[in-house]
Amino acid sequence: MIDRKDVEHVARLTRLALTEEELERMREQLNSILTHLDTLRGVDTEGVEPTAHAVDLVNVMREDEVEPCLPQDSMLANAPDRSGELFRVPRIIEE
Amino acid sequence: MSAPAHYEVVIGLEVHAQLLTRSKMFCGCPTTFGAAPNSQTCPVCQGMPGVLPVVNKKAIELAMRTALAFGCRVNPACRFARKHYYYPDMPKNYQISQYEEPLAEEGRLEIDIDGASRTIGIQRLHLEEDVGKLVHEGTLETAQASLVDFNRSGVPLMETVSKPDLRSPEEAAAYLKAFRAVLVFLGVCDGNMEEGSLRCDANVSLRPRGSTTLGTKVEIKNLNSFRNVQRALEFEVKRQAQALDAGEGIRQETRLWEADRGYTRSMRSKEYAHDYRYFPEPDLVPLRIDSRWVDEIQAALPELPRARRQRFVAQYGLPGYDADVLTQSRALGDYYEAVLREPAPSAGADRPKIVSNWVMSELLRVLPGDDERAIATSPIPPRHLAGLLRLIDDGTISGKIAKDVFQKMFDSREDAATIVGREGLTQVADETALGAIVDSVMAANPKAIDDFKRGKTVAKKSLFGQVMKATGGKANPTLVDRLLEDKLAKIQR
């Protein structure tokens, strides 16, 4: 079971500022997801190789060829803040 | 500086190398260094939601080439994983890397330290994507914001983790040098540490001498030159030894090397969280690397610097120094051997050494020997250098003139024969013509003749110089010497 401390830890790692109410809601939702996983865990997987994919594909690759990029202005268009050609983000050196 | 004698230093290095692909790891954006900020990006490498990364086959092959050169086992199955952390250099909040199933494991690298050879184990080699570049607005202390350039984001990175086999800061620097040399030789990385193509982190711990368990390790980041690797580790070894001597424990942490200030400082835990919550990357299917693919890459492996150095000594009888210089890059060794393969009907048995001398003293005077491209595209191709040496061998030009011709060849890209023909540099080796010049020089220098008669043999040297000057340096020196000898002998009688 996931407790409040776990939720706070994950929230901190993902830089999410959750209110007390949200922390509690997340705790409940995460636990219900884990309960669902327990149901899945009940399936007999004897002799089945673990996989991260539902499709039976390997080695999907591309040749090393340069393709057009998106124009600089388009890439910067959605930036909340910019400084010339650069994205501007809040200071990340912490005291 | 070495560690206090009662401690043994244990170091492992993690080296990140940008692979020399034209396009990025998971998209077709170019990898060219130095472009205008954010001009080489697309939704994939900017981490927009809903995009689909596709693996660059060349990146896999370059990493396989490196793995095989280090004698690693290339795993038949490997996959990518998401490494989660939250930082503005990576907008999708995870880096595509490899975790439990890396591309290759269990290799080794030979290093030379204090004239002896040591084998350093390589634990694993895996692929990942580079992240964007952050610069602080203003100074570090007063910065209100950071600025991000995502051109580097998604460039293929190969991370190679050594085993904790290194026993001193000097060995760590030697490992990094040898590592870089192999990568550059293989053509998988340009090795440019200033531009960040090769970056290094170190894990270092101390333990009482004789102990077999590892001490608490500290990771040091930001080691961007051979010198910094050594300096940072020397500082850290000293810091840890002092802490241990004082009975303080070592905290397992990540420290940042401040090159300008010459010390390591603790990085705050928020700057560097170790909880990455890896899981298999669902957007990429696994890789299956069969033995046929491995064999193909293995067969195309070039001879490595160390083996080539040993062969140059054994096969050509070169001094170790020459072999070192000539194998500093793949292109230079190739160049040297290409000259040797050219015909040289009048050359002596010492030709390999003579060619080595010309490459070392003349070619490397005008081109940097460790610059693969500069050597490979030399204005004087190996064929032209061989042609120049043939003109010396058959007496057409003197060695002295040949050096001038070499410079002219470099400037004009013409071959030696063309320059020598046009500029009339052909050596005067006609005995009658040269005899007449010697006679006139002797006639014009009665004082030298008198000196010689009085036993001042040095006067002959002065006459020799006059003859060479009169012929614009083109006279065959051996012949001039013999003619002078004969004619002076007659005078003396």
A94 touches chain B (CB under 8 A): yes
List, for residues B274-301, the tens digit of each pLDDT value: 688 899 999 999 999 999 999 999 999 9
B104-113 and B73-74 beta bridge pairing: antiparallel
CB contact under 8 A, B23 and A66: yes
Round to whole Å and give the CA distance between B333 and B326. 5
Chain A residue with CA closest to B136: the answer is A91
Residue A9 lies in a domain: yes
User: pLDDT of B103-119, one tens digit each?
Assistant: 999 999 999 888 788 99
* Contact: A70, B41; criterion CB under 8 Å: yes
Query: Which residue shows structure tokens 């350093």?
Result: B120
Cβ proximity of B134 and B92 under 8 Å: no
* A1 near B CB under 8 A: no
Q: Is the pLDDT of residue B141 over 90?
A: no
Cβ–Cβ gap B60/A61 under 8 Å: yes
Average pLDDT over residues B215-240: 91
| CA pair distance B295, B290, nearest whole angstrom | 9
Residues spanned by the domain of A21: 4-41
**CATH fold for the domain made of B431-492:** Arc Repressor Mutant, subunit A (1.10.10)
Asked if residue B80 lies in contact with residue B50, where contact means CB atoms within 8 angstroms, the answer is: no
DSSP B37: T
- Contacts (Cβ under 8 Å, ≥6 apart) of B450: none
pLDDT band at B477 (very low <50, low <70, confident <90, very high): confident
Checking if the pLDDT of B337 tops 50, the result is: yes
How do residues B146-161 score in pLDDT, each as one tens digit?
899 999 999 999 999 9
Mean model confidence pLDDT for chain B: 90
Is A91 inside a domain boundary? no
Interface test with A, best of B147, B256, B289 (most A CBs within 10 A): B147
User: How far is B61 from chain A, CA to nearest CA, in Å?
Assistant: 11
The residue to which tokens 């803040």 are assigned: A81
To the nearest whole angstrom, how far is the Cα of A59 from the nearest Cα of chain B? 5
**Mean predicted confidence (pLDDT) in B174-187:** 92
Q: Helix or strand or coil: residue B230?
A: helix
Share of chain B above pLDDT 70, in %: 96
Residue of B nearest to A15 (CA): B86
Name the residue among A58, A67, A94 with its Cβ closest to that of B285: A58
Q: What are the boundaries of each domain within chain B?
A: 7-297, 305-422, 431-492
* Residues in chain A closer than 8 A to B86 (CB atoms): 13-15
**Separation in Å, CA B3 to CA A73, B22, B73, B206:** 54, 44, 34, 9
Contact B252, B218 (CB under 8 A): yes
Interface test with B, best of A69, A78, A93, A94 (most B CBs within 10 A): A69
Q: With beta carbons under 8 A apart, name residues in chain B contacting A79.
A: none
Q: For position B174, what pLDDT does the model report? A: 93
Give the span between the Cα atoms of B130 and A70, in whole angstroms.
19
The H-or-E segment that residue B276 falls in is: none
Tell me which chain A residues have a C-beta less than 8 angstroms from the C-beta of B36.
72, 85
Q: Which residue of B has its CA nearest to A9?
A: B275
Among A43-52, B15-24, B36-45, where is mean pLDDT lowest?
A43-52
Buried b (16+ CB within 10 A) or exposed e, B419-446: bbeeeebebbbeeeebeebbeebbeebe
Q: Between A and B, how many CB-CB pairs are < 8 A?
A: 137
pLDDT (tens digit, 9 = 90+) per residue, B374-387? 999 999 999 999 99
Residue B86 is predicted with a pLDDT of: 84
Dihedral sign of CA atoms B21, B24, B27, B29 in order: negative
B-chain CB neighbours of A13 within 8 Å are: 84-86, 273, 275, 277
pLDDT band at B1 (very low <50, low <70, confident <90, very high): very low
- Closest Cβ–Cβ partner in B41, B59, B140 for A69: B41
What is the rounded radius of gyration, in angstroms, for the C-alpha atoms of chain B? Answer: 31
CB-based contact A13 B86, cutoff 8 Å: yes
Residue B463 has pLDDT above 70, yes or no: yes
Chain A: closest CA distance from residue B26 (Å):
9
- Contact, B131 vs B176, CB < 8 A? no
Give the count of domains, chain A.
1
Chain A window 34-63: which residues touch B at a Cβ cutoff of 8 Å? 52-53, 55, 57-63
The alpha carbon of residue A35 is apart from the nearest alpha carbon of chain B, in Å, by: 20
Q: Is residue A54 part of a domain?
A: no
Look up residue B178 and give its two tokens. 């040898």
Minimal-distance CA residue of chain B relative to A72: B39
Does residue A48 lie in a domain region? no
**3-state secondary structure at position B406:** helix
Q: CB distance B137–A83 less than 8 Å?
A: yes
Q: Do B38 and A88 touch (CB under 8 A)?
A: no
B472, B290, B283, B478: which is closest to B395 by C-alpha?
A: B478
